[in-house]
Each structure stands twice: as C-alpha cells, then as structure tokens.
Amino acid sequence: MNRFKSISVVLFAAVLAGVVISCKDKDKTDYKAEGKKAGTEMCDCVASFTAPNPADFIDGEGSFDETSFNQAFGAYAVNLGTCPGVLAQYQQYVSFIYENYDPTAAEPLYSVFEFKNSDFEQGFKEGTGDCMETFAALFALMGGQ
C-alpha cells in the first residue's frame, strides 16, 4: 500500500509540474507570431490606400494635369506615411526611425526599423513578405531611394 501511495504522490507531482509548465508556456509571448501580425497590419495599412492613376489626370484634350496629379500623389504619400503608426502597439519589440534609412544596407527597406527581438524581426519580415513591392513604394514616397 505504501508503494502505491508513493507512486500516487509522484504522479500527482508530475501532473502538477505539467500543469505549471503548460500555464507558463501559455503566458509566454510568441514573438515571431507578434512580428508576423505587425507585418501583416503594416501591409494591410499600405494596401488600404490607392495610388493615383496618371491616366485619371488627362483631360478630354489629352493634356496631363500635373498640378492635380502632384496634389493627389502628395495626399497618397501622407496617407502611407501614417502606416508606421500601426507599430505603436509593438514598441517594446520594434521602433520606426526614418532617419536610419540606408539605401546601401543589405535590406534597405528594413533599415528604418530597429528590432529589439530577433524572433519578432523574423516574423515581421514574413508578415511583410507578401506586400514588399507596396512596402517599397511606401519608403520611396517617404524620400527613400
């Protein structure tokens, strides 16, 4: 009987340890998933704005209205410039520092981001992978090369 009592105590301790460990795992932040979510949110923001179409600024006589186009393009650039604001909720993992833009960097588009966690960075890059062309346009409009 003593032997079964010892086994039950050991099994109870093992189950309790498993519960404690699994609770701690649930509380643990999945940095890569957070990064992917942030990247997707950034892409969704960029995709929510439509660039002006130059063809829409040609009048009935075939003349291009450059002034109106430039105004529309400027408004588009301002709208895109709001997109890094989605990162405010992730400030413990990443900072957006436009002045850090380096067109000669290995990944110039990401040079404006200061990542504080490598798993978050990897997830962010996965999250932005589907919209890299539009993402590149964001930086070009903001003065990048």
- Among 14-18, 86-90, 111-115, 130-134, the range scoring the smallest mean pLDDT is 14-18
Q: Is 95 helix (H, G, I), strand (E, B) or coil?
A: strand
Amino acid 132: pLDDT: 73
**Two tokens at 37?**
């979510």
- Classify residue 39 as left (phi > 0), alpha (psi -120 to 50) or beta: alpha
Read off the amino acid at residue 70: N
Task: Compute the mean pLDDT over every residue in the chain, rounded to the nearest whole number.
Answer: 80
Judge whether 130 and 44 are in contact, CB under 8 Å: no
Rg (CA), the chain: 25
Q: Which of 9-18, 29-38, 84-93 has the lowest mean pLDDT?
A: 9-18
Over residues 66-95, mean pLDDT? 92
Crossing angle for the helix pair 132-141 and 66-81, to the nearest 10 degrees? 110
pLDDT exceeds cutoff 80 at 130: no
DSSP H/E element including 20: helix 2-27
Q: To the nearest whole percent, how much of the chain has pLDDT over 90?
A: 43
Of the chain, the percentage scoring pLDDT greater than 70 comes to 73
**Which residues, including other chains, have CB under 8 Å from residue 49's CB and lie 6 or more apart?**
76, 79, 80
Answer whether residue 134 shows pLDDT above 90: no
Select the more confidently predicted residue: 68 or 108.
68
pLDDT of residue 142: 58
Three-class secondary structure of residue 115 per DSSP: strand
